[in-house]
Structure 1
């Protein structure tokens, strides 16, 4: 029996969808994420192509064969380009190349999404009520496709470096949500622990505003202790237990309030000391912690003035949207491929102004996928910052 060729629309939609799904982005795509993007791009391009074609007569004969051959050739070429491009991006940041199992995950994710969407469409025509439940199920599966990055973020936040003993005799003090549900009480507990451990007698006092989950970057703590030895104390306070992106969207004000409360408590303790005995106070924030720390220092009024007068320097790592305060002795760490710093919702309709390829809608979708995988990369790329950063911290010597 003679094999039946695919429709011309399908053959030509496939390379277009592959080009859309693999359009240049900030980071190498996770295999499962790339599979989902390929599938959704294919379905969208195919729907547009068939809507444009409408009721026009389908290609037949030699024209059909040429369209299928052209689509196949373009697909093969783009698959080669995708493979080499992803390999180069991975090698550039120290990631392992795509393996055969990665390709299997990619293909499986793509086929699974296409099959699920086609199945929902079929059910919608037969039984609309059941299909609505299926839509919710498919949406849930789509969220789970990015579970590796979320799981990594969760495992990172569960390891609180400030609860571990410093190997160089530096002071570490921390208060979590389990210590108190009240910001003021929790800040008091953190600072009391700092004072009891002799933190105010050290030359440098680092106030670390954590990420949404309460995580303080152990690489940064290790870097400051390598630089200053036992003459540094670090204090921090948890203000939420959700991943940063969830807290950023749902309760950014809570993060700012937590940062303000901790800073005010530290400022009160430091200000009570004789001028010659006061440590240099440095504020460091990463991710949502950077946003919260900046807002706390830029707040108007007497409290904001007191914070700014007490703080020697600031250091912001991976600030969402790339914000900064403009205060003296401010240091910014922003990886060039960190989508959380550089991506904007406005990318859907206007370029970011950075020297990178851009397409309307497509670029913002890719940026969203990159955000979800921004922690699943080696240190020094994406939204991960290493132990070399504290060498740039400015002092008041």
Structure 2
């Protein structure tokens, strides 16, 4: 009897040990559904800025800011809403938020709600993917990545021993969400791929276990694992940590006003959540938009090749519902481009009117890129000077 009891105890202990990873990941999910405050939950790396080199947008005087006072009718988003200012409408669902709209390098609208204040940080979620894609463009320009048609296994050789589809998976497939991975983009189920990636503690281990459902390059399907793989390609190609490369190539050259952070899978493995873990503010994120608006040039210095930026405006797979290319969504008709993240995190770039808009926040009221586009179009049509 004693022997059986000992065996039973050993069995229970083994089961507990083998499942401790799942419990650890579930604990975070149960206590903390994904939140724009997640920068405080996970280990992180710092993305340093240069305090001696800061870029500041010009600011339209408050009394001249039309969007602060003009009453509008918002007819195309959920239920029609009349006689609301832009801020009143976008804050109707409550929660913390930050919103900035810039035209001709001048701040024409800036509003903060709840605990998010000027230069206050929050998680930008999948807008991180668009930033990571720009970093790939820089690595190509520098010759660190030979071509985006290179196979992923050229840079991450460990994957040669994983699913055989990795042998045909290219960087372009990752950038255009055409990897063909068997993967579920769903945070709500604690056992699904997305939750285990986001709350897990060893991203590379999960990548090695990935399976494919389609041949790479044949179908568009959005998922975060593609950009998780990209971060390994970037780090191996450049020989630099993700946060350090982002700091040297974008944060410092663009004159960011604050340092940022990127969350990690764990203190032990320190793999950056390149797909959804950057924490920063709307003013600094607007500088990413300004870089895109100016075809990759920053005050006369070409940081990303203009050809790379131009390709972002051309859908990689025209038949797909989402018009997506090199990490960014595009509006073919209005020739605008945007980066979008969970809960409505948004960078919107509208070259026709020289506009950049950034929205960060907790509750998604509407599709903010479409909202800004429609308001700007309306002002242009009505001849409203704003």
TM-score by length of 2: 0.23
Which structure carries more relative contact order (alpha carbon 8 Å, separation 6+)?
2
TM-score by length of 1: 0.23
More strand by share: 2
More helix by share: 1
